[in-house]
Structure 1
Amino acid sequence: MSWLVTGGAGYIGAHIVRALDAAGLPPVVIDDLSSGHRGFVPDGVPFVRGSILDRALVEQTLREHDVTGVIHVAGFKYAGVSVSRPLHTYAQNVEGTRIVLEAMEAAGVANLVFSSSAAVYGTPDVPLVTEDLPKRPASPYGESKLIGEWLIRDQAVATADTVAPLRHTSLRYFNVVGSGDRSVYDTSPHNLFPLVFEALIEGRTPRINGDDYDTPDGTNVRDYVHVADIAAAHAVAAQRLAAGDPVEAAYNLGSGDGLSVRQIMDAMARVTGIDFTPEIGARRPGDPDRIVATGELAARDLDWKMRYDVDEMVRTGWEARRAAAG
């Protein structure tokens, strides 16, 4: 009995594949490699190249590999770009989730862990984001993730009295960083860590977008969570679903306190040994002062904890990026 990881050749998905394998849950990967990398999938893990929009292929994969559950990670994850590409975002994230659910129902697969996002909350003006906070997504990406949660909820209601009622949970998180395997690193052109790493490798000075926020050091504060911790929580969620244990509809995978961009930059200089003073640019429109989530529910049920400090986040990410550069 295996677990299908959609988007399992991506940065987060490939770490989830490794976490499943370590937990004794055999993984299978489906990925169209639009942003993932075939080399991120470990040898011996069944790999299917294709899109989750291909209903027949998804169903065939579920049946051929005797899949007992799905961890649905695949999607278009660039919130900023989603504003200019809403139709593409909805096709990948909403229609893609609908098709995965349809294929699961047809194949009799009834366990689902959904890789959602803290973007469903928008920009809440509270010290700590909790799961019951009103959902006000501020981008098509955040909207698409929230609609995905609605689709899953409604399908669970619709199948409640069938022979294979859908059991599910959604995991919401912010900024995923670091590496749990030197062969896997963040290749996003939009995330802070790879942007800083590329600047340092190319001899450029990293930039901070605004230093006049209402925070202790003037730079905005966010949740930064290590990818290996994120992956481990997905694996525990899969184990609980497979065992029939109770789970919440959604969990925040949050740090509880957050890190500022200035703290990240200081750690970058400290860990890499490259001394630099970041340039200060203009604020980005709509950037809130602070968004940090509590992870109390996930700590209770999913063994969620922050196992890496900021220096370890930087060190593991930097080592993986340098290993990729040869």
Structure 2
Amino acid sequence: MKIAVIGGSGFVGTRLISLLKQDSACEVCNIDIQQSPVHANITRIANVLDTKALREHLTGSDVVVLLAAEHRDDVTPVSLYYDVNVEGMRSTLQAMEYNKIKRLVFTSSVAIYGLDKQEPDELAPTDPFNDYGKSKWQAEQVLQAWYADHPDWNINIVRPTVIFGEGNRGNVFNLLRQIASGRFMMIGKGHNQKSMSYIGNITAFVEFLIKEKISGYNVYNYGDKPDFTTADLVYHTGMILNRKIPAIHIPYWLGMLGGYGFDLLARVTGRKLNISSVRVKKFCAVTKYNSEKAMCSGFVPPYPLQDGLKRMLLEEFSAKK
């Protein structure tokens, strides 16, 4: 099986390609605008918006995994979300059709549901609150329209919750680094539940979709269970690292006020700061999602969630590290 990963030079793509390469029956290539620090020998440099280049690099492939996305919450200009996430989908589909490739795995996001929802499943209404979520939902709508005209295709969509793991430098890493440093302040009470996906499990699920879900149009939320609260993350971090984590709480309104202050500072200085009103809002929101469909699909996560958290904390923040 020849698998083309578009956007595989990042955190998720690097781990996914490493996993797929363990199977001698799989031949993998990476197509990315940036060179892969790990898989340079199989990387082809191309922009997801360059349909001509995609046509060339997808030649002979059986399956495409589309990971390429603008996903940070401080991307400027915001039009980049729609250029890469939506128009990149159109370019990919056109290049696939040109090469007669009929199988696609696409990583969307639970951001399409919005914040503070009641554990939405795959049939829940969409209500994205930011441009990232809106662009991911628009990309899915492009796929829906495409499938209506190409019913013989196999399309698998996975909507992951926030992904974490060793080597990640996203929001979960920043949160755990603050907790582990002992300079952490809880905004609000910390009772909000947060669905999370360990990197070793989400990549294994994508591999499962490639090998097992070979027909139809399938959509899956993905999040490892049970869901932790923010207070749970503080507790487990202290236990795993054997550190006393101070329990300092500040009111939500004060945290948001500080976030708006950092927004203003970022606008004035032109710098991208680690604190913003959007990140405060996401930190305090309930982001719990139903992933029962994925867990009943025949897939078995190789790592319990707490083990994944332990692996990351010990790798990144242990005293020896």
Q: TM-score range by the shorter chain?
A: 0.7 to 0.9
Distance 1:49 1:318 in 2: 33
Distance 2:282 2:8 in 1: 32
1:6-25 aligned within 5 A: 6-23=6-23, 24-25=25-26
- Kept in 1, the 8 Å contact 2:194–2:228? The answer is yes
**Residues 306 and 175 from structure 1, CA distance in 2 versus in 1: closer, same or farther, beyond 3 angstroms?**
farther
Distance 1:109 1:269 in 2: 49
Tell me the residue number matched to 1:295. 291
Q: Which of 210, 214, 219 is equivalent to 2:188?
A: 210
Amino acid at match of 1:147: Q
**Residues 168 and 248 from structure 1, CA distance in 2 versus in 1: closer, same or farther, beyond 3 angstroms?**
closer
Tell me the residue number matched to 1:32. 33
Query: Gaps spanning 5+ residues in structure 1: where?
Result: 180-184, 212-217
Amino acid at match of 1:192: V
Alignment partner of 1:114: what SS?
Answer: strand
| C-alpha RMSD over aligned residues | 2.6
Quote how far apart the aligned CAs of 1:209 are. 2.9
Amino acid at match of 1:308: P
Tell me the residue number matched to 1:81. 74
Amino acid at match of 2:146: Q
Tell me if 1:269 matches 2:238: yes
Distance 1:154 1:9 in 2: 29
**Residues 136 and 248 from structure 1, CA distance in 2 versus in 1: closer, same or farther, beyond 3 angstroms?**
same
Listed one character per residue, the Cα deviations across residues 78-127 of structure 1 (whole Å, up to 9, x for unaligned) are 2x325x6421111111111111111111111110000010011112532x
Alignment partner of 2:176: what SS?
Answer: helix
Aligned length: 292
Q: Which of 157, 173, 179 is equivalent to 1:193?
A: 173
Tell me if 1:118 matches 2:110: yes
Distance 1:236 1:8 in 2: 17
Alignment partner of 2:62: what SS?
Answer: strand
Q: Deviating runs (4+, > 4 A) in structure 1?
A: 286-289
Distance 1:99 1:296 in 2: 32
Distance 1:57 1:199 in 2: 44
**Structure 1 range deviating more: 314-323 or 129-138:** 314-323
Quote how far apart the aligned CAs of 1:15 are. 1.7
Q: Provide the TM-score with structure 1 as the length reference.
A: 0.80
Quote how far apart the aligned CAs of 1:227 are. 0.9
Distance 1:273 1:108 in 2: 55
Distance 1:13 1:76 in 2: 14
Q: Which of 137, 143, 149 is equivalent to 2:134?
A: 143
Q: Which of 280, 284, 308 is equivalent to 1:313?
A: 308
Distance 1:27 1:322 in 2: 33
Distance 1:317 1:230 in 2: 15
Quote how far apart the aligned CAs of 1:150 are. 1.1
Tell me the residue number matched to 1:178. 165
Quote how far apart the aligned CAs of 1:59 are. 1.3
Tell me the residue number matched to 1:182. none
Distance 2:224 2:238 in 1: 22
Amino acid at match of 1:143: K
1:185-264 aligned within 5 A: 185-188=167-170, 191-197=171-177, 200=180, 203=181, 205-211=183-189, 218-241=190-213, 244=214, 246-255=215-224, 257-264=226-233
Quote how far apart the aligned CAs of 1:289 are. 4.6
Distance 1:103 1:96 in 2: 11
Tell me if 1:154 matches 2:136: no
How high is the sequence identity, in percent, across the aligned residues?
Answer: 19
